[in-house]
Amino acid sequence: MGRREEIHGTTILAVRRDGQVAIGGDGQVTLGQTALKHDANKIRRLGGGKVLCGFAGSAADAFALLDRFEAKLEEHKGNLKRAATQLAKDWRTDRILRRLESLMAVVDLETSLIVSGDGNVIEPTDGVIGIGSGGMYAAAAARALLKHSNLPAEDIVRESLLIAADICVYTNDHLTIEKL
């Protein structure tokens, strides 16, 4: 049997600074060695615009999870941590959901979380989240800019994603950035 081609090509970055949070993602979707799409939007506003979410992994799986996450936000009256924890629990234990291959970065004005299908809900100490193919490159650049510049969160996300696009072949410079 042939090797299954995997869809790659996501870099998501979230940064907090001075009471603001920004999240951004690139637009590339790659199947094997081919870039299929250059302008995908992998960032969504949820919870009446009070929550921002970025996703990495299978787009179809991510959309299914976004719908469930938004329902959890409504169920828990906008409580991001509780909604993320309940989604992770369902994701890990449900026979159908646990087959979904995606990773989510979710933020509101107070909290930044990584949510995964293995039941993890992680709140990074420094408020920087990098997920996807170029996530670690973007996160490293963001941490350097946080330490050595006075740029606002939105500009740090932009510059860091552009740095990741220069390094990671699965990341491009067509960016979508949202802030709270």
Which ranges in the chain belong to alpha helices (H)? 59-75, 80-93, 135-148, 153-167
* 94: helix, strand or coil: coil
- Asked about 10 being catalytic, the answer comes back as yes
Cα–Cα distance, 69 to 44 (Å, whole number): 11
Which residue among 10, 11, 30, 176 is the active-site one? 10
Nearest in space to 51 (alpha carbons), one of 86, 25, 81: 81
Q: Which residues are catalytic?
A: 10
